[in-house]
Amino acid sequence: MRTKIVAGNWKMNKNFHEGLELTSEITGMVNDEINGNVEVVLIPTYIHLNAISQLTQGSNKISTGAQNCHIENSGAYTGEISAAMVAAAGCKYCLAGHSERRLFNNETNSVLAKKVDAILANNLSPIYCCGETLEERNAEKHFDIIGSQVKEGLFHLNNEQILKCVIAYEPVWAIGTGVTASTAQAQEVHAYIRTSLTEKYGIDIASQIRILYGGSVKPDNAKELFSQADIDGGLVGGAALQSRSFVDIVKGAV
> Which residues form the interface with ligand PEP (CB under 6 A)?
9, 170, 175-176, 214-217, 235-239
39 is catalytic: no
Q: How far is the CB of 221 from ligand PEP (least distance, A)?
A: 11
Q: How far is the CB of 235 from ligand PEP (least distance, A)?
A: 5
**Which one of the listed residues 48, 70, 98, 190 is annotated catalytic?**
98
Answer for the pair 253, 226: CB distance below 8 angstroms, yes or no: yes
Q: State residue 92 phi and psi, 5-degree precision.
A: -110, -30
Q: Which CB atom, from 84 or from 247, has the smaller least distance to ligand PEP?
A: 247
Kindly report the length of the chain: 254
Q: How far is the CB of 121 from ligand PEP (least distance, A)?
A: 24
Q: Which CB atom, from 120 or from 235, has the smaller least distance to ligand PEP?
A: 235
The DSSP output letter for 70 is: B
170 is catalytic: yes
Q: How far is the CB of 172 from ligand PEP (least distance, A)?
A: 10
Q: Distance between CA atoms of 65 and 49, rounded to whole angstroms?
A: 8
Which of 8, 115, 118 lies closest to 52, judged by CA?
A: 8
**Which one of the listed residues 100, 107, 132, 170 is annotated catalytic?**
170
Which of 211, 210, 235 lies closest to 222, judged by CA?
A: 235
Q: Which CB atom, from 58 or from 176, has the smaller least distance to ligand PEP?
A: 176
Residue nearest to ligand PEP (CB): 237
What contacts 140, CB < 8 A, 6 or more positions away? none
Q: Which CB atom, from 11 or from 156, has the smaller least distance to ligand PEP?
A: 11
Answer for the pair 148, 109: CB distance below 8 angstroms, yes or no: yes
Any idea which residues carry the catalytic annotation? 98, 170
